[in-house]
Amino acid sequence: MKKKMGVISKIIILVSILFFIPVVVYLLGYQGFKVRKFNDNIEIFYNEKFTYDEGDICYNSFFKCHKVSVSTKGRVDTSLIGEYTVYYIYKYAGDILTKKQTIKVKENEPPVISVDDNDFNVCHNQKDIKFNVTAYDNYDKDLTDKVKQYIKDGKVYFEVSDSSGNKAIVTKDLTIADQKPIITLNGSYMEFVKLNNIYEDKGANAYDDCEGDLSSQIQKSGIVDTSKAGEYQITYSVSDSVGNKQTAVRKVYVYPESNYNVATGKIIYLTFDDGPSAYTTRLLDILKKYNIKATFFLTNPKGYDSVILREYNEGHTIGLHSNTHDYSQIYRNTDAYFDDLYTIQNKVKEITGYTSTIIRFPGGSSNLVSKSYDGGTKIMSTLAKEVEEKGFKYFDWNISSEDAGGTTSTSQVFTNIVTYLNGNGPYVVLQHDTKNYSIDAVEDVIRYGLAKGYTFMPLSMSSPTIHHHIAN
């Protein structure tokens, strides 16, 4: 029995030992650093703030997992893309654990491509097409020299990649230029040549944005017959290699030296108000050159008696405008008006010996400014009747040069006059010989009129009456 009990005891002891050994081994192995969370690899963007990530690591024992101290080694510069290594050193009760972490700083913004939109109208014959393009990356900065471009199916593609492989693509529609050439006339678009003189055409130049100088390819048509007065037209035409055609026209007026006193039935009366002035002598020279007679409605400037006498002696009509040209005085009442009128009439007679009875109201018979001074008497209606009763004849106008309005351009004065010369007339033209730019247009007006078959005449008491509607 004792022997049997001894065997059982040995068995129990053996079993206990066999059970106890794994428990001891397990308990001994449970003690140490426990990694519950740790990122071995981290990605972060360029210029993003980096924060050290120590993870979740503790020191384990039979009873609990203890908090450990941690320090780091290594730094991360997010202003530079690349890979960085940081070491985390964990310590507890003399025990040490080192963990390695890899941080990749990357950049994911594509570059920005800028293209000048004006570059995409290109010539049909252009081979080496260059575009004004720039590329900029927030990390690599200027990438302009790395931009690749190619043309496909009427579009231009621009591509560029930064050092991180971020790609930008810009697409633009390509427009083939289809512009007409430009023709520039040598000289004026309007030329004058005297009857029976030789006309020498000054020609023209042509330029095309794509093909350059095309002057040698200009085709000219039209004939100027200087044996006949009138209007002629020279047409210049040119085409580029793809058929874009441009034309330009020059008008040539052949005019006689004079047709004064030639009864054509087409009459122009040139009239000039407010003079004489410093410019009147030059005007008289122009009129004398063409043997043209005009009408001068005078005021009373000081120091121009000799100019008034010349006007009279050279056959021009001396009309009366005003002694003062002061609306507030002459339109106060009829007596004030006639006092002013007789003063300038007497002045003209004193200089020339001629008593003029041809007049033009300051502002014309249709003026409304007189309403401001006449006390509501409708003075213009009264004056229009009384001047004729006293033997005067007044003339308004039916063509205004606008030289006393908003026009200060010689070419516009010319246009303002000739635009309305489209019939037989009679035409009474209003200009002012106090305006230098207006006098500059007179010679072309004369030559234009002569070429169109008009006769220039001075106003007289028998001339057709041109009156405005009286509104006061």
Mean of all residue pLDDT scores within the chain: 91
50 C-beta neighbours (distance < 10 Å), count? 15
Instruction: Report pLDDT for 265.
Output: 79
Q: pLDDT tens, 371-403?
A: 999 999 999 999 999 999 999 999 999 999 999
Given pLDDT bands bounded at 50, 70 and 90, which one contains residue 25? Answer: very low
Residue 164 CA to its chain's centroid (Å): 44
Q: Are 204 and 185 in contact (CB under 8 A)?
A: yes
Give residue 98's region: left, alpha or beta (phi > 0; psi -120 to 50). beta
Task: State how far the Cα of 455 lies from the Cα of 225, in Å rounded to an integer.
Answer: 21
Does 350 have pLDDT greater than 90? yes
Active site residue 273: yes
Cα four-point dihedral sign 379, 325, 313, 446? negative
21 or 366: whose pLDDT is higher? 366
Q: What is the DSSP string of 396-407?
A: --SEE--TTTT-
Among the four given CATH numbers 2.60.40.10, 1.10.10.10, 3.40.50.150, 3.30.465.10, the one describing domain 182-255: 2.60.40.10
Q: What is the pLDDT of residue 2?
A: 54
* CB-based contact 208:197 (threshold 8 Å): no
- Band of residue 277 on the pLDDT scale cut at 50, 70, 90: very high
Q: What is the mean pLDDT of residues 266-293?
A: 96
Q: How confident is the model at residue 134 (pLDDT cuts 50, 70, 90)?
A: very high
In the chain, the percentage of residues whose pLDDT exceeds 70 is 91
Q: Of residues 321, 432, 440, 444, which has the active-site annotation?
A: 432
> With 0-12 CB in 10 A as exposed, 13-18 as middle and 19+ as buried, what is 280?
buried
**Is residue 122 scored above 80 in pLDDT?**
no
In the predicted structure, residue 428 carries a pLDDT above the cut 80? yes
391: Cβ–Cβ under 8 A, 6 or more apart, which residues? Answer: 357
> pLDDT by residue (tens digit) across 86-115?
999 999 999 999 999 999 999 999 999 998
**Mean per-residue pLDDT for 433-445?**
97
| The two three-digit tokens of residue 231, written as one number | 């209007």
**Residue 128 annotated to the active site:** no
CB 266 within 8 A of CB 203: no
Q: At what angle do helices 334-352 and 305-313 cross, to 10 degrees?
A: 70
- Give yes or no for residue 268 having a pLDDT over 60: yes
Note whether 379 and 337 are within 8 A (CB).
yes
Write the Ramachandran bin of 212: left for phi over 0, alpha for psi from -120 to 50, otherwise beta. Answer: left
Q: Is 119 exposed, middle or buried (0-12, 13-18, 19+ CB in 10 A)?
A: middle
Chain centroid to CA 7: 119
Reply yes or no on domain 112-176 having CATH 2.60.40. Answer: yes
Residues 6+ apart with CB under 8 A from 6: none
In the set 140, 162, 208, 273, the catalytic residue is: 273
User: Phi/psi of residue 381, each to 5°?
Assistant: -65, -40
Q: Assign domain 31-106 to its CATH architecture.
A: Sandwich (2.60)
The CATH number given to 267-456 is 3.20.20.370
Burial category of 120 from C-beta neighbours within 10 Å (exposed 0-12, middle 13-18, buried 19 and up): middle
Take residue 38 and report the two structure tokens written for it. 């740790």
* Residue 103 CB partners (closer than 8 Å, separation 6+): 41, 42, 43, 44, 50, 76, 83, 84, 85, 86
Tell me the C-alpha distance between 437 and 76, whole Å: 80
Res. 410 pLDDT band, cuts 50 70 90:
very high
369 pLDDT more than 90: yes
Q: What is the pLDDT of residues 199-255, one digit of tens each?
A: 999 999 999 988 899 999 999 999 999 999 999 999 999 999 888 899 999 999 999
Which pLDDT score, from 0 to 100, does residue 301 have? 84
CB-CB neighbours of 209 under 10 Å? 13
Structural contact between residues 297 and 322, judged by C-beta atoms closer than 8 angstroms: no
Work out the average pLDDT over 334-349.
Answer: 97
